[in-house]
Amino acid sequence: MDKLRIAGGRFLKGRVAVAGAKNAALPALAATLLTDDAVELTNLPRVRDVRTMLRVLEQLGATVNETGAGAATVRVGRLQSFEAPYDLVKTMRASVLVLGPLVARHGRARVSLPGGCAIGERPINLHIDGLQKMGADITIEHGYVEAKAKRLRGASITFPFKTVTGTENLMMAATLAEGTTRLGHCACEPEIVDLAELLVSMGAVIHGAGTEDIVIEGGQPLRGARHRVIPDRIEAGTYLCAGALIGDGIEVVGARADHLEAALTQLAACGVVIERTGEVLRVLRPERLVARDLRTSPHPGFPTDMQAQYMALMTQASGTALIAETIFERRFMHVGELQRMGANIRIDGRSAAVTGPTRLTGAQVMATDLRASACLVLAGLAADGVTVVDRAYHLDRGYESMETKLGALGASIERIR
């Protein structure tokens, strides 16, 4: 298994370009199932999860043409199968995004239940409840969700709490359902707006994406489209944290500051100065980083996907930061590893108190999920000595060539086996 070896303590300097957003690319790829025309997507990040989604689509019968770096044309004519099998779903939960489109256009779907993962239980009951309200007949057997519907019908569905892929799945299904669908208490992430933009360019009628109430006028067949995926706000935020931690004025290029407001505000409160010039965010490491409390919450709040990276930063801040994780019940797996590197962190339920600054020392550490891995890489960059982050495949799921990008900024980082 690949590992990343980092010799810490080198200041980072230069420019780093942000790739397309993994969490926007995955629903966009699933949306190709809604039409038999070709859909061309650009700015797809070259990460493992995108490859997995392409494999899921190919297995269903899609023709995928990779037309250049980060560009692919996907065409789904007649399906070969209606199934997203366990072997693929277990490696990537977001495979469940094919459920809504498959049943909406093809009348049938069989998708493995993803089961729990490293960061929490993560059920998909809200996806299932919503599709049932739209008339799908759903059974759960042998670890699979099987959904059938001759034709979905528009429905009024209010989510009891916000779910990103749940909102995306139902929004996609509703575009082909007969009549109007009203979705209430929707997630408002920029990735949902991006998906809605793609669907609208395919001919869908959608109002309110990015707010809690989305209305979809469904029923018309969708057509092909071209779409450029938005930049990855979490990747951008990760490099902003690197710049705040051990940067010498690094510039993050190609991010959308309007997608990063909560992170930018939080970093500013810690004393980090970020200058914005067009598409460039220049981050200045402060003389003294100040500890600030944090609570993750759905967009426009501070993203859970940035919590671990922020925690790495807080190990070097003066004072105690209380970090509350409100989205996932087990998203503190990085804490034990940070402690082994010398961090002073106390967990109390779903909060962690990080007291700093502490000297971090390089160690062998184990990545447990994507964002925990990014946190450990950041800690390794700031630590004295050598850190080896085991199970780098977690990082490869969502960060495009992270070691190359950090290496170009001057970090001493290499992939070893």
* Nearest distance in Å: CB 161, ligand EPU: 6
Closest CA to 67 of 49, 42, 32, 35: 42
Pairing verdict, β 412-416 and 156-158: unpaired
Q: Contact with ligand EPU (CB under 6 A): which of 194, 197, 305, 337?
A: 305
Is residue 117 among the annotated active site residues? yes
For the bound state, the minimum distance from the C-beta of residue 277 to ligand EPU, rounded and expressed in Å, comes to 28
Q: How far is the CB of 107 from ligand EPU (least distance, A)?
A: 22
**Residue in 384, 374, 390 with CA at minimum distance from that of residue 235:** 374
Total residues interacting with ligand EPU, rule: CB under 6 A: 25
By CB under 6 A, name the one of 122, 256, 340, 415 that touches ligand EPU: 122
| Beta pairing class for 351-356 and 225-228 | unpaired
- Cα 174 vs. chain centroid, distance in angstroms? 23
* Smaller CB separation from ligand EPU, 29 or 289: 29
- Binding ligand EPU (rule: CB under 6 A), the pick from 266, 304, 316, 373 is 304
Nearer to ligand EPU by C-beta: 99 or 321?
Answer: 99
CB of 49 to ligand EPU, least distance (A): 8
Candidate list 82, 239, 310, 328; residue touching ligand EPU; CB under 6 A: 328
The secondary element (H helix, E strand) that includes residue 192 is helix 190-201
Nearer to ligand EPU, 48 or 110 (CB): 48
Q: Please enumerate, as own/partner, the contacts of 258-265 that have beta carbons within 8 Å and a separation of 24 or more.
A: 259/190, 259/230, 259/231, 259/233, 260/233, 260/236, 261/300, 262/299, 262/300, 262/301, 262/302, 262/303, 263/233, 263/237, 263/302, 263/303, 263/306, 264/240
Angle between helices 333-340 and 370-382 (to 10 degrees): 20
Choosing from 6, 26, 306, 321, the residue that interacts with ligand EPU (CB under 6 A) is: 26
Residue numbers at the binding site for ligand EPU (CB under 6 A): 23, 26, 94, 120-127, 161, 163-166, 187, 303-305, 327-328, 370-371, 398
For the annotated catalytic residues, the residue numbers are: 117
